[in-house]
Amino acid sequence: MAVVAIIGGTGLTQLEGLSIREAVSLETPYGAPSADILRGEFGGREVLFLARHGHPHRIPPHQVNYRANLWALKQAGAEAIIAVNAVGGIHAAMGTGHFCVPHQLIDYTWGREHTFYEGELDHVTHVDFTHPYAENLRAKLIGALQAEGYPYSGHGVYACSQGPRLETVAEIARMERDGADIVGMTGMPEAVLARELALPYACLALVVNPAAGKSTGVITMAEIEQALADGMGKVKAVLQRVLAQA
């Protein structure tokens, strides 16, 4: 069975129900990862868990050391990755509390260390990124959401913005014109780094607020925190079901 690593985002700095066997502290050629990698049992099988923003939640999205995180997970034995992301809803179907298992993404970030293939190379390397998410993992996430009866979309385009600020109304309108359904700040370069390391990767996105201009009021942290509190139990139920069949 493949060893699955779970990368927890905002609201998931700890994986409740994870029976921890060890905390693995690793150094990589790219520096230290966001936190120790926790190895243990969850959903009846061995898993690895990494808090993307550290524990406690302290590293903003544009300063996450994505290269160190992915390298360390591979070094620790990860063979597939499920990423949990809190996102804003752009498409009308993506209301607060809705899940999305995206099939595509658009990268609007800049200045992030986004590849392992740089520096003194023997040759230039290009990786195919036509389909950024692993279809077999996506199918398992969709099946788990169906079984749990949670509202979800089995397709969606994830727009990754730079952060840490939220987007403007005009920026969201542009992303919508580009075809984006949800917006977050951590989907890239995480996904492409996983591809460069040949790690199958899929995203379980929880909508925690309407994107800018998609509601009548301003976006508040209280609103986001409540949506996270309401949704994390469901996230864990989905992950347990996926791991039980992985």
Specify binding-site residues for substrate: 185, 209-211
Q: How far apart are CA 18 and CA 172, in angstroms?
A: 37
Strand ranges, E, within 90-200: 99-100, 104-107, 152-153, 157-160, 182-184
Q: How many helices (H) and strands (E) does the chain have?
A: 5, 11
User: Around Cβ 135, how many Cβ atoms within 10 Å?
Assistant: 11
For residue 182, count other CB atoms closer than 10 A to its CB.
Answer: 28
Which residues, other chains included, contact 33 with Cβ-Cβ below 8 Å and sequence gap of 6+? 26, 50, 65, 68, 69, 71, 72, 73
In whole angstroms, what is the distance from residue 25 CA to residue 48 CA? 12
Tell me the Cα Rg of the chain. 17
Q: Which residue numbers belong to the known binding site?
A: 10, 52-53, 185-186, 209-211
CA-to-CA distance for 170 and 211, rounded, in angstroms? 11
CB 88 within 8 A of CB 183: yes
Annotated binding site for phosphate: 10, 52-53, 186
Nearest to 233 by CA among 7, 12, 3, 6: 12
Taking alpha carbons only, the member of 158, 208, 232, 193 closest to residue 81 is 193
